Amino acid sequence: MKNCEYQQIDPRALSVSPLSAQNPAEKKVQRPRRKWEAFPGKNRFFCDGRLILARQNGVLPLTLGLIVVTSGLFFAFDCPFLVEHLTVCIPVIGGVLFLFVVASLLRTSFTDPGILPRATADEAADIERQIDTSGSSTYRPPPRTKEILINQQVVKLKYCFTCKMFRPPRTSHCSLCDNCVERFDHHCPWVGNCVGKRNYRYFYSFIISLSFLTSFIFACVITHITLRSQAKKGIVQAVQSSLCTVVELVICFFSIWSILGLSGFHTYLVASNLTTNEDIKGSWSGKRGAEESGNPYTYSNIITNCCATLCGPMPPSLIDRRGFLPPDEAIPAAAASEMELPPFTPKSDANMV
């Protein structure tokens, strides 16, 4: 037998990835992942994270379709008759209202409503240390609320076990989107998104402009049918000659009341500096059986409340959707398993002869 020499292998040399032993031309450069790709909430992102939408957004196409179809029928079948018999300003006014409604709807739907990022592991551990009650021998659960003072009034902050943080004032966790939303108003399925601090002004402009558009089309449709009935000397003949106008009349009749009621309700909320969530829960009234207390966020002036809600500066988005994940978080679990070393198989003595 020939003399064989054994040399000890440095274990650190084996920690090199098998990909490094391949030809450099065959190496696959891993694409850096953006944070929206690993976002924990129940949202959908478009245009590389620039647009955000709730995962349950099936009603949004219905909303957009009703607006487009009703307005399209109006421009196609009513405007030519009304321009000929009344004025050319009718399609101009209708076109401006239509564009404003669609723009407000899309802005509401694709804007971050004010989602708060979830606490990191270090931040969650720090909060747990703050609320820890480990001084006693028996276990006591940590308190779920803490109290702060706003305008000489006590406000309770609730702890969110999903986001691992105390929710700021007026913040609530949306169960459909699975996010804490700042100044949470409500989750609106018609726009396919939550309505909160960053998109409430667009939502309010949407329902107000939609009220004007629906009322305008409704009035024009009635005028159209009235003029046709006078020309044809009968309402039946006028309806038979303009069936599409009747479709518009039915859609507007059944939708205008809810739209006007919703607009009036949110006008009241804006003037009072309230949210839908606070009004339904009765946070600042006696609905809960507690002692009646005033709204600590109101400025006691309708104009000031409206300006603070609708005309203030747009707060920046707190979720860095287009930021890049750290390299250690961006590596998938499959890639990590590929870096494991194969089991060591000793050489056979026959190879050493």
Q: How far apart are CA 136 and CA 159, in angstroms?
A: 22
**CA angle, 108 as apex, 106 and 112 as ends, to 5°?**
115
Does residue 164 contact residue 124 with C-beta atoms inside 8 Å? yes
Classified as helix, coil or strand, 208 is helix
Nearest CA-CA partner of 210 in 269, 273, 255, 253: 255
CA 28 to chain centre: 36
Nearest CA-CA partner of 167 in 201, 127, 122: 127
Does residue 229 contact residue 223 with C-beta atoms inside 8 Å? no
First to last CA, the chain: 5
Handedness of CA 160, 165, 166, 167 (dihedral sign): negative
Helices (H), 233-325: 235-240, 243-272, 276-281, 302-310
Phi, psi (rounded to 5 degrees) for 194: -75, 155
**CA angle, 147 as apex, 121 and 295 as ends, to 5°?**
120
188 is catalytic: yes
Does residue 153 contact residue 294 with C-beta atoms inside 8 Å? yes
From the candidates 79, 177, 180, 188, give the one annotated as an active-site residue.
Answer: 188
Handedness of CA 335, 337, 340, 345 (dihedral sign): negative
Phi, psi (rounded to 5 degrees) for 176: -80, -40
Q: How far apart are CA 185 and CA 292, in angstroms?
A: 21
What amino acid positions are annotated as catalytic residues? 188
